[in-house]
Structure 1
Amino acid sequence: MAETSNADGGRLTTHVLDTATGKPAAGLSIALYHLDGKARTHLKTVVTNADGRCDKPLLAGAEFRTGEYELVFAAGDYLRQQQLSLPKPAFLDVIPIRFGMAEPVHYHVPLLV
């Protein structure tokens, strides 16, 4: 798939909410990968703020490119930080979400844990 960049239009954001507490999932680690065929390239890892969001868009401006991506949410680590005892294997541990961005617009990936 051809990729294009857009210096001012496209951006990628996320928001994670903890359904057990009804609050934002603060301190949850998220890894962003670019996918190209079988290749998977790590772009960055961020941690959610007190509002369950990232301090800035995951991709924006010149950094934004259309294509296929994957967000990997470290839900198990987050839940253990909340002092929850998880069974082995945990029902929610690592949550990957794969998606495509075809246009330079705002894409938002919400997650409830």
Structure 2
Amino acid sequence: MSTQRLQHLKGHILPENKVISMAGPVSPLSTHVLNVAMGVPGSNVSLSLQRQDTLSDNWSVITTGVTNADGRCPGLITKEMFTSGVYKLRFETQQYWESIGETSFYPYVEIVFTIRDPGQKYHIPLLMSRFSYSTYRGS
């Protein structure tokens, strides 16, 4: 196992390395990108969060972001903006794979989901390799 990977794991395991961020309100929607082929977080993955207009079926971009070193993108949406409806997370996977010197079958991944109770917490992970991906509703 590489030294870099061991240091990354150490940061998750040892309590003295934990840092609690008080930077702002917690988003009711979170995501986590994992490169399961290499066993590392999917860092620097560009993504966008979009909401579908119920009248026209058009998509509106709510926010864009890039995953951090842990494969997360904090602060996707505020509680006030998080309403019932159909949402889409779009991950620019081709750019990610090219940035680490690889090719992939999927140029992007779109995960479309319905929010019926915006008072709940939703977690939508993306587990990916060059030739596959999966997702699930976490909490």
Q: TM-score, normalised by structure 1?
A: 0.81
Give, in whole Å, the separation in 1 of the partners of 2:37 and 2:80: 37
The answer (yes or no) to whether the contact 2:27–2:76 under 8 Å persists in 1 is: no
Asked if residue 102 in structure 1 is aligned to residue 102 in structure 2, the reply is no
Q: 1:29 aligns with which of 19, 31, 46?
A: 46
Query: In 1, Cα distance between the equivalents of 2:84 and 2:70?
Result: 27
Q: Distance in 1 between matches of 2:46 and 2:26?
A: 26
Amino acid at match of 1:79: W
SS in 1 for 2:80: helix
Provide the residue aligned with 2:12 in structure 1. none
Alpha-carbon distance, 1:101 to partner: 0.8
Match of 1:76 among 89, 94, 103: 94
Q: Take 2:26 and 2:69, find their aligned partners in 1: how far apart are those partners?
A: 27
User: Over alpha carbons, which structure has the higher Rg?
Assistant: 2
> What amino acid sits opposite 1:36 in the alignment?
D
RMSD: 1.8
The one-letter code of the counterpart of 2:60 is T
Where do 5+ consecutive residues of structure 1 fail to align?
1-7
Equivalent residue number for residue 67 of structure 1: 85
Q: CA deviation at 1:60?
A: 2.8
Among residues 105, 121, 125, which one is paired with 1:91 in the alignment? 105
Q: Which aligned runs of 4 or more in structure 1 are off by greater than 3 angstroms?
A: none
Greater share of residues in helix: 2
Shift of 1:10: 7.2
- Structure with the higher strand share, 1 or 2: 1
Paired positions, count: 101
Distance 1:58 1:106 in 2: 12
C-alpha distance in 1 between matches for 2:62 and 2:108: 17
Structure of greater relative contact order (alpha carbons < 8 Å, 6+ residues apart): 1
